[in-house]
Amino acid sequence: MPERRVTVVAEVGLHARPAATFVRAAAKAPMAVTVARASGDGAPINGKSILQILALDVKQDETIVIRAEGEGSDAVLDELAGIAGSP
């Protein structure tokens, strides 16, 4: 399954505005999108759910793994990686 490992650089982590932007972009994708901690702590969560993204509680400088499979997944993953890895 295609994936991107991204270190979150935003000061607030993947919370509030960055999380909302991420979920809006993920929701446009025709395939399932999952997010997990690169450390392996916990199961992957639904990348299209704002509540699950917020509950993941990703802090600045933590690395996450974003996965998606299907036609166009590389473009979707690149866009999501840019959002999560952007300040």
pLDDT number for residue 86: 64
Are residues 54 and 63 in contact, defined by beta-carbon separation less than 8 angstroms?
no
Task: Indicate the fold that domain 3-84 takes in CATH.
Answer: Histidine-containing Protein; Chain: A; (3.30.1340)
Is the pLDDT at 1 greater than 90? The verdict is no
Catalytic residue among 4, 15, 48, 67: 15
The dihedral built from the CA positions of residue 17, 53, 63 and 85, taken in this order, carries a sign that is negative
pTM of the entire structure?
Answer: 0.94
How does pLDDT run across 21-58, given as a tens digit for each residue?
A: 999 999 999 999 999 999 998 999 999 999 999 999 99
Please report, to the nearest 10 degrees, the dihedral formed by the alpha carbons of residues 38, 42, 47, 53 taken in order: -100
Is the pLDDT at 87 greater than 60? The verdict is no
Question: Which tokens go with 24?
Answer: 């809006």
Query: DSSP letter at 58?
Result: P
12 is annotated as an active-site residue? no
